Structure 1
């Protein structure tokens, strides 16, 4: 048993003596099958006691347990993206990102949303999203590690709240409220798979609530889920040349091998969609109320094992000249193992141990002061392995190579201590004023572990080299915060909420921020509300300290830590905090009974925003000419690319200098024929985001049942307003991702019909268009309609078109204690369009249709783009059994 599992098990046992309900939760007309009532007392976005959702001065969306369970995949990320218009979940990742999918609000980074459990800050992830994209840079909490069965409801504050809760709450707050039942329970079993037969998923979960003594409870959930791989496309284009003949770089000795692979589609079915994984979670919420105070505790322990398929390595990939150790293509006998005949598909495997423990005491003094003292400790450890692989350079040098490599790992630790105090004062206004104040102490550490010797020898194992001595290391920091909050009511219909917060960090300094929220109810049918606030976000330790080499079959990109020598050589530096300004205004309309409509507009400005620089590419070839303005690089295949100088250097020289400063060794194949690049995280830009949120719900009583109708929509635009501080270090693709990789709009329509024991739940999510700039393969001579910074065509604009995605679930209560349900997510099996067809391999046709088999940017034949909001896996059907007791 790992250290994390041992420690968490001790905490789980010890906490049985230190637990009590964290928050009062009541509902006046909530039912098990309906969304959470607007009369539920909320605890997010306000420090006033007894505040109900219908009276909130800030936009709060509530999701019930029942709504969360009516989603096919047992995964809170999937549930939220199908139910909340402004919420977008990552559908699939690349390399390490596959094992920790992220999500975000309002088109901003996942790091801009604060995730809480029972009102307490949830810890971040040890796995960093490195690959540049819409979710790049995320080290946000993994919502997937919270089992749906333990959740009573979710409160989503869609407004800036950094002045209330601290760093990260720029886009909003997701507060997950746990069950506090004293009796009853459920057992659920779900199975499903995608329409093409891949990705088979099994899950089993259980929840039980029990009474402890006279005034305590214990609520426990156990969860297990396992799923198989999904794949995309019909194989790797690297097997054949662009004109359909055998790759011109391959000698006659290898041509029969390549031809056999091409004829048999021998590389189909290996190009990664989702990885195979197993997930085990135990979660509890536990407490006891004494005469004058409450003692509470909640926490979890989890273990995840994931296995992701990597890009196919062609037979010559592991062939080296025994004298020079350089790649050679003349003698199949000098290849490692049987790769001369079949090539190789390496795997990345990740084993993640995580736990979190919160304990606290709360109560009220005799003169009305409410107080809450709590502490949370969390730990997340991920170990990374490359398997089914080989180190070709090690094989040439020693005659031996292992097939499995330990690449190293990460560990993130966090301790948070909080004290919250509030009291109501009667100062002669319409209602008593709430005065609240408190403080927070947070200590965090992030560590990268070095890989084994074989994973570090020259290029390491194929597909993922180990973390080197220059990558490894530990960083930590502490932060202190003080806040104060006044909520008062000048007249009965008017609410004014003023908050201020001061935070100081040990690694970069301090911040003072504030927030003003107000609401005026003109009548029971109409109210206006607005918020203006300032905020900040501290860089995560992973953003500040992560360093690695990301490789593909013919590429290598070095991720440089911002303050590292390699990063400094390219003109970057250490990260500082982001600064934000939020402005929102909206209306709450109840024109007729039961119909509630809300409409809120918002504006978010972020200065010194932390983003990926994007890949600064220096082709692995010798520059053949340059002047004071441009450099011309001759690429393999005879293609010339013109690029502007960066800091007085050609991109090639800038990248080579950074690689040398980082002390990294790269795969000789990449150095010989591939693509080299560097990237890092930087405070380099300012952005502005503006949009609108719309929500409406109308439950209808029918003579033969009930119908609950809902409509939600989000419109969201982000623009880069200033990147001058970075100049040409901020690449065109990086700016395009910020502005165009997020949905402009998303519409959600739901209809839940119930009669007797039968229910039918129909849902439609209409996703707007997203685009991304991609490059063809370096050997491609296809026209490039999008210009680079030097005015030379370099990119295609890949498009995932707007489309509706339908979900349907049918359920039936066989008895009072047994429910059966069947359903489908993505009922019509919609997938992004395939960007290029086999017929398009002929370059002569590209000028006619502007399409190339390479523009999916992964070298996979007939593969759809993988950056869209609904993924490449297509339709998913499932069956679920629920037992209640």
Structure 2
């Protein structure tokens, strides 16, 4: 029977009898833009999640997005009510069959759209950092990486996290992180290009899944599930700024659900986000000529300014009882500006008598669209899903308020604004998936068989800057790319998988997955995964998994080259597979390989209390890092062979070059603990408590030796991989709600980090530098929000992130000479201090 729409009827009929999928009360919550409520009919709602008839649940295919949200439990029905999401939500990540998160074979968290909005963050990345103890971010990524919002899972790089939208692979950013730190070399997914108002919920799989999804899923998978409402919508505005008075932020969002006849839905969302600069830099005394506490004003340390507009849609239409057309897409444009190091008056007094601060800029367009068709058990008993996804990221990088001092010395003229480079990538992915349940004698349940094939084409191109940006040393702060560094690159990927799952006994579940992929540039890879779970009782279960994984080198790691310049040095990055890099020992990059182990305990003592504890180990071999560093004459020769300009004013001893290489092996061990508890206090309201703990340690177990006979990593690089993220992160708190009131209070403890900071030894900028070990103490961050429903449709909220204005530990004075007060690459709490905001939301 066909899917029906209307206020009181959403679902399928079974054997000709209509089954009402949701109660009127649940629909009221849905109309208010929050998650779907768990009710007595929730199992039926769950089976509707993939457009399946109730009897067909076991044969659903996970790659597709649900056409109905799973049954997320909420305890309040107010317009903006938020609550802890209990683990009874039906999930589709990490499995090829529909299952509740509490019954999953692997650890998975479910975060509702209402929870994301209640953080007061207009950036999706920062909202997830507030909600998940396993997710962190690099507070200051440096240079162009400041203009991309990337996250880390289990202390690994953004490249080790696979991001899906409705189960489909999302493209990465074109912007490679070049500065030091954990993110160096990464081109992770910038999830802030997705409007939060379009998101129904997010599933975070905290387990390796390369055998299921392919490259990048070493640390885990983030699957963003979009809304599927056929009616209603919301308007929201959020405004706030830091306690210091800067960094004003304005976020506006709107979403709308429409009914497509009586057979489908169309959800639309639009978002506007504006953030002003923050500056947290101390006095700049790079040349060592001022007394402590004095020096030049250098605004480099802090958040960039950015303006982002994004739109998105999610749609589905049923052609008949069993076949559905679907599609979804996003588009976002961002303009951002990041301050660079201050240049004193002596650099170019003719144009900048008071000195100048170069400002790096980006104009970015990010887009993605998916279309597909799927059917349920109508192809010889198989369910199937055929889809195509095309996405990409295009960035035009520039520099304002700068100068080309070499050009000025030669010709007496220099522009003050430059076009540095154009970088872009695209990803075209075609998927065909099949799934079917087979009855097997002697087994208590059918064997679910899923098979599929994926074809993907990736491109990466680099365009040169204008002549003035790279000639005669190039523009100050960051020279442009010369035509010799421009390139158009691509590769083809073909993969196939098989997944088998069943119950060996009524209490014992097993899942086997295998995947083969061929890359046109780095060859073949085969990976497998075994997951299992045993339920001793409905209240106690154990689970575990063993898997192998991989991450193919990104095209940016293989082909990107550039030169960066400070007042005292020049550094060149050479494309790993270029002839220039081979001059200093480079070899073609190989895929990273991993082995993942996970063992966990699931406890549900009562219906309202849910606890999980999972221990994991992730071994990564051939990890791609920046290495092979050469300096002096050999570095200059390699850079010139690559067409990179070296200013004549910089001595040869201050010139270095390197490339990306498979230079290290690491081992990450940790424990995840999560818990939710719903309590009722009668006339005094209800509280949903939540607890999240992550204990995480990464060790560098092996360092490769370069062609020069030296280790590929130094002490500073080792610390970036092993100690720049917290060894523990704990989130504890709850949400209280009573009638029209709601209060959320959470305390987050970020464990200590450490780094090897570079500092200057000597009287001037060309003196040698040394490493200084620095420990960043553990920090406690308090977040609070108070909400009030003025009417059933209109809510106001006031809140504070980092209520008590906590900052990272300050560096010793000798490491602050460039103006940085904090350990930029080892701070995860951010450098802005407290932030307060006011939010208003209207639902209809």
Identify whether the pair has TM-score above 0.5, normalized to the shorter chain.
yes
Cross-structure match for 1:878: 837
Q: 1:780 to 1:798 in 2, by over 3 A?
A: farther
Which residue of structure 2 lines up, in the alignment, with residue 842 of structure 1?
A: none
SS at match of 1:237: coil
**Is 1:57 equivalent to 2:105 in the alignment?**
yes
- 2:245 aligned with 1:216: no
1:118-197 → structure 2 map (5 Å cutoff): 118-197=166-245
Tell whether the 8 Å contact from 1:128 to 1:138 is kept in structure 2 after alignment: yes
* Structure 1 stretch displaced more, 412-421 or 393-402: 393-402
1:660-699: per-residue Cα shift (whole Å, max 9, x none)? 4333222333338x83322321112111111111011111
Q: Find out whether 1:279 has 2:308 as its counterpart.
A: yes
Contact 2:211–2:514 (CA<8 Å) still a contact in 1?
yes
Distance 1:272 1:47, change over 3 A: same
**1:539 partner SS:** coil
Structure 1 residues 453 and 356: CA distance shift in structure 2, 3 A: same
Spell out the pairing of 1:186-335 with structure 2 (5 A cutoff).
186-238=234-286, 241=289, 267-268=296-297, 270-291=299-320, 292-318=322-348, 335=349
CA deviation vs aligned residue, 1:689-722 (integer Å, no higher than 9, x gap): 1111101111101112111111111111111111
- 751, 759, 781: which one pairs with 1:776? 759
Could you tell me how far apart the structure 1 residues matched to 2:206 and 2:644 are?
44
Superposed CA deviations along residues 856-881 of structure 1, whole A, max 9, x for unmatched, are 4x611755646301111111111111
Provide the C-alpha distance between the structure 2 equivalents of 1:686 and 1:534, rounded to a whole number of angstroms: 15
Stretch of structure 1 that moved more, 445-454 or 358-367: 358-367
Q: What is the CA–CA distance in structure 2 between the aligned matches of 1:345 and 1:122, rounded to whole Å?
A: 36
User: Shift in Å at residue 233 of structure 1?
Assistant: 2.5
| Correspondence for 2:128 among 74, 80, 88 | 80
1:860 is aligned, of 808, 816, 819, to 819
In the TM superposition, structure 1's runs of 4+ consecutive aligned residues that sit over 6 Å from their partners are none
1:613-628 to structure 2, matched below 5 A, reads 613=627, 616=629, 618=631
User: Is the CA contact (8 Å cut-off) linking 1:487 and 1:495 kept in structure 2?
Assistant: yes
Deviation of residue 508 (structure 1)?
Answer: 1.3
Alignment of 1:706 onto 2:686: yes
Alignment of 1:805 with 2:781, yes or no, is yes
Deviates more, 1:677-686 or 1:692-701: 677-686
Partners of 1:550 and 1:359 in 2: CA distance: 41
Alpha-carbon distance between aligned partners in 2 of 1:215 and 1:425, rounded to the nearest angstrom: 30
What TM-score, normalized to structure 1? 0.84
* Alpha-carbon separation, structure 1, partners of 2:286 and 2:596: 48
- SS of residue in 2 equivalent to 1:98: helix
Deviation at residue 462 of structure 1 after TM alignment: 1.2
Aligned mates of 2:502, 2:319 — CA distance in 1: 31
Instruction: Note the alpha carbon deviations across 1:95-124, whole angstroms, 9 max, x for none.
Output: 101100211111111111100000000001
Deviation at 1:552, TM superposition (A): 2.0
In structure 2, relative to structure 1, the CA distance for the partners of 1:417 and 1:195 (3 Å cut) is: same
Partner of 1:823: 799
Match of 1:46 among 95, 99, 102: 95
Structure-1 residue corresponding to 2:727: 744
* SS of structure 1 residue aligned to 2:760: coil
Residue 604 (structure 1) aligned with residue 587 (structure 2): no
Whether 1:34 and 2:83 are equivalent positions in the alignment is yes
CA pair 465-45 structure 1, distance change in 2 beyond 3 A: same
Whether 1:671 aligns to 2:651 is yes
Shift in Å, 1:854: 3.6
Structure 2 residue 748 is the aligned partner of structure 1 residue 765: yes
Which blocks of at least 5 consecutive residues in structure 2 are unaligned?
A: 1-63, 76-80
Distance of 2:659 and 2:290 partners within structure 1: 33
- Contact (CA 8 Å) 2:584, 2:630: kept in 1 or not? no
Gap regions ≥5 residues in structure 1: 1-19, 245-261, 319-334, 619-651, 785-791, 837-852
Aligned-partner SS, 1:590: strand
| Alpha-carbon distance between aligned partners in 2 of 1:612 and 1:467, rounded to the nearest angstrom | 20
Q: Does 1:398 find its partner at 2:411? A: yes
User: Is the CA contact 1:439–1:482 (under 8 Å) kept in the aligned structure 2?
Assistant: yes
| Counterpart position of 1:541 | 555
Q: Is the CA contact 1:554–1:669 (under 8 Å) kept in the aligned structure 2?
A: no
Residue 307 of structure 2 aligns to a residue whose secondary structure is strand
Q: Distance in 2 between matches of 1:755 and 1:131?
A: 48
What residue in structure 2 maps to residue 251 of structure 1? none
CA contact (8 A) 2:84 2:676 kept: no
- Pair 225,270 (structure 1): closer, same or farther in 2 beyond 3 Å: same
Post-superposition Cα deviations, 1:770-811, rounded to whole Å, max 9, x if no partner, equal 1111221242699x9xxxxxxx99311122111111111111
- Cα distance in 1 for residues equivalent to 2:262 and 2:425: 39
Cα contact 2:69–2:200 (8 A) shared by 1? no
Match of residue 671 from structure 2: 692
Equivalent residues of 2:204, 2:220 under 8 A apart:
yes
Q: Distance in 1 between matches of 2:466 and 2:70?
A: 54
Equivalent of residue 659 in structure 1, options 639, 643, 664: 639
Change (3 A) 1:601 1:866: closer
Query: Does residue 1:347 correspond to 2:375, yes or no?
Result: no
Q: Deviations over 1:191-213 (max 9, x none)?
A: 11111111111111100101011
Q: CA deviation at 1:535?
A: 1.1
Match of 2:110, SS?
strand
Compared with structure 1, are the counterparts of its residues 91 and 392 closer, same or farther at alpha carbon in structure 2 (3 Å cutoff)? same
User: Normalising by structure 2, what TM-score?
Assistant: 0.88
Matching residue of 1:383:
396
Give the match's secondary structure for 1:678: strand
Q: Is the 8 A contact 2:300 2:338 kept in 1?
A: no
SS at match of 1:831: coil
Assess, with a 3 A threshold, how the Cα gap between structure 1 residues 466 and 207 changes in structure 2: closer, same or farther.
same
Q: Tell me which residue corresponds to 1:332.
A: none
Q: State the number of aligned residues.
A: 768
Q: CA deviation at 1:525?
A: 1.1
Q: Residues 677 and 419 of structure 1: is their aligned pair in 2 closer, same or farther, counting only changes over 3 Å?
A: same
Compared CA separation, residues 536 and 240, structure 1 to 2 (3 A): closer
Q: Give, in whole Å, the separation in 2 of the partners of 1:723 and 1:294.
A: 51
Distance 1:163 1:745, change over 3 A: same
Moved more, 674-683 or 448-457: 674-683
Inter-partner Cα distance in structure 2 for 1:598 and 1:375 = 36
Render the CA deviation track for 1:108-167: whole Å, top value 9, x for unaligned: 111111000000000011101111211112211101111211111000110011000111
Q: What's the counterpart of residue 432 of structure 1? A: 446
- Deviations along 1:257-284, whole A, 9 cap, x unmatched? xxxxx98x6x326233111110000011
Is 2:595 the partner of 1:581? yes
SS at match of 2:149: coil
Q: Secondary structure at the match of 1:316?
A: coil
Secondary structure in structure 2 of the residue aligned to 1:659: helix
Once residues 443 and 505 of structure 1 are traced to their aligned partners in structure 2, the CA distance between those partners, rounded to angstroms, is 10
Q: What CA distance in whole angstroms lies between the structure 2 residues aligned with 1:28 and 1:742?
A: 31
Alignment check: 8 A CA contact 2:336 2:361 kept:
yes
1:573 offset after TM fit, Å? 1.7
Distance of 2:646 and 2:205 partners within structure 1: 46
Q: Which one of the candidate residues 442, 450, 455 is aligned to 2:464?
A: 450
Structure 1 SS opposite 2:606: coil
Whether the 8 Å CA contact 2:596–2:619 is kept in 1: the answer is yes
Q: Partners of 1:47 and 1:421 in 2: how far apart?
A: 10
Tell me the distance in 2 between the aligned counterparts of 1:815 and 1:809.
18
